[in-house]
């Protein structure tokens, strides 16, 4: 890793920590591959700063997705992010239920298609 890469990686990790209050594990792991870290970070930063949805809406969507995928670390991270954006427990609970419902429906529809073949 070059010195300028070190500085950019440090800056990225500081920015991530300033948002989440810590550096999520995925960023810690990606720091070992600066090109992958930069690609992942700048893509997510673009999505996070797009004004089409509020920050809270984005966090609630991320909660639903994390629930659907069963990603405990991501779920915890985005629940905290949603709380910082002003989410109340009913909103978080609904996002989890919606995500779980999507996962259940997906599993059911795939299983029924296989069974019907």
User: Is 62 found in the same domain as 35?
Assistant: no
Region 41-61: mean pLDDT is 95
> The pTM is what?
0.83
pLDDT at 69: 95
pLDDT-derived band at 2 (thresholds 50, 70, 90) equals: low
Q: Report the number of distinct structural domains present in the chain.
A: 2
Q: What is the DSSP letter of 31?
A: T
CA nearest to 41, candidates 107, 77, 65, 33:
33
User: Is 2 found in the same domain as 22?
Assistant: yes
User: Is 93 found in the same domain as 62?
Assistant: yes
Region 2-26: mean pLDDT is 88
Q: Where are the beta strands (DSSP E) in the chain?
A: none
Provide Rg for the chain, Cα atoms: 17
User: Is 65 found in the same domain as 34?
Assistant: no
CATH number, domain with residue 117: 1.20.1290.10
User: Is 34 found in the same domain as 9?
Assistant: yes
User: Is 117 found in the same domain as 74?
Assistant: yes
Residue 8 has pLDDT above 90, yes or no: yes
pLDDT-derived band at 46 (thresholds 50, 70, 90) equals: very high
* Residue indicated by tokens 């429906």: 105
User: Is 59 found in the same domain as 17?
Assistant: no
Cα angle 73-99-111, degrees, rounded to a multiple of 5: 110
How does pLDDT run across 68-114, given as a tens digit for each residue? 999 999 999 999 999 999 999 999 999 999 999 999 999 999 999 99
């Amino acid at each position: 890793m070059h010195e300028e890469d070190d500085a950019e990686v440090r800056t990225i990790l500081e920015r991530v920590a300033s948002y989440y209050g810590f550096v999520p594990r995925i960023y810690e792991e990606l720091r070992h591959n600066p090109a992958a870290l930069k690609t992942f970070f700048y893509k997510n930063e673009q999505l996070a700063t797009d004004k089409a949805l509020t920050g809270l809406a984005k966090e609630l969507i991320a909660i639903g997705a994390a629930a659907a995928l069963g990603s405990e670390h991501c779920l915890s991270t985005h629940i905290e992010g949603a709380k910082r954006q002003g989410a109340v427990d009913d909103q978080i609970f609904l996002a989890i239920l919606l995500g779980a419902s999507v996962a259940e429906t997906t599993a059911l529809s795939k299983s029924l298609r296989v069974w019907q073949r």
